[in-house]
A and B are shown apart, each in its own frame.
Chain A
Amino acid sequence: MSQPYAIEVIEVQKRYQSGDFWRPIKAQALRGVSMQVRPGEVYGLVGVNGAGKTTLMKVMTGLLRPDQGQALVFGLPAGSMAARARFGYLPELPSFPKYLSAREVLDFYGRLQGMEPRARQARVAELLKWVGLAEALDKPIREYSKGMQQRVGLAQALLHDPELVFLDEPISGLDPLGIKQMRDLFLSLKAQGKTIFFNTHILSEVERLCDRVGLMHRGRMLLQAPVADLASRHASTVTLAFRSLGPAQRRSLKAMRLVASQENQVWTVAVANAQLAPVLAKLKLPRGAAPTVISANSPLETAFIKAVRAEEQG
C-alpha cells in the first residue's frame, strides 16, 4: 500500500455567512479546491489577501468544516483527534495570555498533548533555546515583541515533534530581523525533514524555501507546480518606464509581442530579463531617453500575475 499524502484536499467548497439572520451576507471562500502535499515536502500556498488561503488551512486543521468535499491529513479525516496529534499549527499573528510566561504557555500546551512532565520540561527548554528565547523564558508575554511572540507560536506548534507543520502567514508583520530569524528556523525545520505547509503573500519567501507552490485566487487553486519548474517556465521580468515612446518604437514593441501601456503620461513595458538588451537595441531610443526600471518580477511573480490575469479575464 502506498504512503498516504501528508495533506490531501478533495473538491473542497466553503461558504461563509455573516450579517444579520434576516439579511445574511454569503461569501464563497473556497470553490472546489483540490491539492496534495507529499510527506517531507515544503509547500507554499500563495495568493492575495482574501484569496481563501487561511480558510483552506482552517479546513485542513479541522477548525472549519467544508460544505462539500473532504480534507485528509496522513489519510485521516482533518480535525479528527488522530490527525490533530500529527501536526502543529502556527496561526497568523499568534497571541497568548499576556500574564503568563513562555515557559508556562508551552508547559500548558505540552500537557494538552499528553506529554509526560519530565519530557515536557526538557522539550520546552530545548525549543525555547532553539527559537532564541532561552533568556526570556520566564518573562510575562506582555513584555515580548511581535517577533518573539511569533517564535513562541512556532515553539508551541513543534512541542510534540509533529511530522507536519502548518504556518499561516508566518512572517507577516515582522521586522527584517524577525523575518530573517523565522526564515532560518524554517530552513532548520526543512533540514529536519518535516512536512511544512505555509500560507503567504510574500512570493520571494516561497522561492527561497519551498519545493512546491500553489497559487490561489478568489477561492480557486489556479496553479500547482514545483518551484523549480515555474522558474524554468517563466522568465524573470523587469518593468520599464519611458517618458515618451514614438510611433516607430511602439510598432517595434508590437512586432516583438510586447505590450506598452500608458498611464499619467508614462509608458510602461514588461520585458523578460534575458531580452532586455536586444529590446533596447531594437527600440533605437534617442540620447537621453533611456527608460527607468520601476520593478523587477521573479519567475514566480510572473507566473502568478499571468495566472491571475487569465482567471480574471475568464
Chain B
Amino acid sequence: MRQSWVIGINIFRQLLRNRILTVLAIFALAMGGLSVFLGELGQESEARLGRDFGLLGVEWIGYITVLLCHVVLLFEETELKTITMLLVKPVARWQYLLGKLVGSSLLAALNVAGLVLVLLLVGWARGYSLASLPFFLAAFFLLWQSVVMSAVVLLFSVLASTVPACVVYSTFTFFLGHFTGNLVEWMAKLNEGAALVLVRVLYYLLPNLAIFNLSDSLPLGGENIKTGIALSAASFLWPLAYGAIYALAVLLLAAWQYQRKEI
C-alpha cells in the first residue's frame, strides 16, 4: 500500500503541473457562468438551476479529470516508455495500478472541490446559498462515482493499450452506466432469448452510475424534491459499498490482465 501511495502522490503532482487543470478550470468557470445565464432565462428559481447545473458540472468534471489523467499516463507509458524504469523497481504491477487510481482520484477530488467552491461563490454573488449538507453529500457521491469511473478507465487503458480506444470504451461505459435502470425495464419486457441474455450480461457488467446521483432524493438548497422519501443511513451506505466493491472488482481484473501484459 505504501508503494501505491508514493506512486499516487507522484502522479498527482505530475498531473497537477500539466495543462489538464487549465482546461478544467475553464470548464468550471463555464459551468458557473451557464448556471447564472440559465437562471436569468428560466422560470425555475435561479438557486435550483445553479444547484442542478452545478452538480451536473461536478459529475462531468470528475469524469473528465479521471479520463484525462489515464489518457496522459497511458500516452507516457506507451509512447515515452516511462513505465520500464518504474516496473524494474521493487513495485508489484498491481501496486502501480492502485497508485494510478489514487493519483487520479486525488486530482478529481481537487477539481470537484474547486468547482464546488466556484458554485458557492456564484451563489453568494447572486444572492442565494448552496452551502448545505445535502448539497455537499450529493457532490461527494458524484466524486465517489468518479473514483469508480477511474477504475473503469484504468481497466480499459490496460485492455486497449491505445489512447483513442481507451477514450471510446470508457465514455461509452460512462453513458450506458446511467441507463442501467432502463436495462431492468427491458429485461422485464424480454421473456427469453439471446437478447435477454445480452441485456442481463450488460446489466451486471456495467456500473450502475444512477445510484450515485442523489440530487433527486436529497433536499437541496432548502427544497425537498421528492417529499416523503425517508433517507436512512442505508441509502448513503449502499452507494458507498457498491462503488467500493465495483471499483475493487474492476481493479482486480485490470491487475490480472496487467500482470500478463508484456511491457
Contacts and interface: CB of A to CB of B under 8 A. Distances in A.
Given A99-B18, A112-B90, A113-B90, A104 B13 contact: yes
A17 to B, nearest CB: 9
B84 A99 contact: no
Interface in B3-30: 3, 6-7, 10, 13-14, 17-18
Given A112-B90, A114-B90, A64 B262 contact: yes
Interface in A54-77: 58, 61-65
Interface bin, chain B: 20 to 34
A95 B90 contact: no
A97 B76 contact: yes
Nearest to A109: B89
Contacts of B6: 108, 111-112
Contacts of A94: 81, 85
A112 B91 contact: yes
A169 B66 CA distance: 35
A97 B85 contact: no
A156 interface: yes
Interface stretch (A84-92, A207-215, A243-251): A84-92
Given A63-B263, A99-B18, A112-B6, A84 B82 contact: no
Contact of B263 (A64, A81, A99, A156): A64
Interface string B62-96: 00000000000000100011101111111110000
A130 interface: no
B263 A108 contact: no
A274 interface: no
B260 to A, nearest CB: 9
B81 A91 contact: yes
Nearest to A95: B80
Interface in A31-80: 58, 61-65
B113 to A, nearest CB: 21
Interface string B92-106: 100000000000000
A113 B76 contact: no
A112 B88 CA distance: 10
23 contacts: A58-B263, A61-B88, A65-B262, A84-B89, A89-B84, A89-B85, A89-B88, A91-B84, A94-B81, A95-B81, A95-B82, A96-B82, A97-B14, A97-B76, A97-B82, A99-B14, A109-B89, A112-B3, A112-B90, A112-B91, A113-B90, A140-B17, A153-B85
Interface of A: 16, 58, 61-65, 81, 84-85, 87, 89, 91, 93-97, 99-100, 104, 108-109, 111-114, 140, 153, 156
Given A84-B90, A91-B85, 6 more contacts: A65-B262, A93-B81, A95-B80, A99-B18, A112-B89, A112-B91
Closest 10 pairs (CB-CB, A-B): A99-B17, A95-B80, A97-B14, A112-B89, A89-B88, A111-B6, A108-B10, A91-B84, A61-B88, A81-B90
